[in-house]
Amino acid sequence: MKMSSAIALGSNLGDSRAILEAAIETLAQTPGIILEAKSSWYKTKAVGPPQPDYINGAVILRVEMIPQLLLKTLLQIENKFGRVRQQRWGPRTLDLDLLLYDDLILNTPNLQIPHPRMRERAFVLVPLVEIAPDWVEPISGCTIKELVKDVDCTEVHLLVGY
């Protein structure tokens, strides 16, 4: 059974745009995953310690795998592109966050769906509203286009020419 899933992507180390594009290509070539939609790229200020700006985006996938297997796949792709987890909210070559999985609400020690901080993050909501404006976030009951109105989007800028 195919389920819809929303994934946030981010990078601020290395050739971020090339890394992000390659990560999407890797996802699209993964058995059990179909790439349905891809947002534009956005330049955003980093959250956390001083570091370079991020490039962020989002994709919608159709998946034939349970959420835990999808998370494992995302972590393997992060590792393939040199992701090292040293510092919370530190700089990274690639960040893949599982935001939504149909209308599932899941709370386990290693996976929370919807992503626990997605509703307060403009760098997640701005790309997501572009490709899934009417997706209902199941905890709030609000659509993505409603949620994006409640966050400050001044630090999220469309990358022109990407």
Q: Looking at the annotation, which residues are catalytic? A: 83, 92, 95, 97
Residue 63 CA to residue 87 CA, distance in Å, equals 30
Residue 156 CA to residue 137 CA, distance in Å, equals 21
Tokens in use for 87? 């510092």
Residue 140 CA to residue 137 CA, distance in Å, equals 6
Q: How far is CA 84 from CA 80, 87, 103, 115, 160, in A?
A: 10, 9, 31, 21, 29
CB 56 within 8 A of CB 10: yes
- The alpha carbon of residue 61 and the mean position of all alpha carbons in its chain are separated, in whole angstroms, by 11
Residue 93 CA to residue 14 CA, distance in Å, equals 6
Strand partners, 11: 55
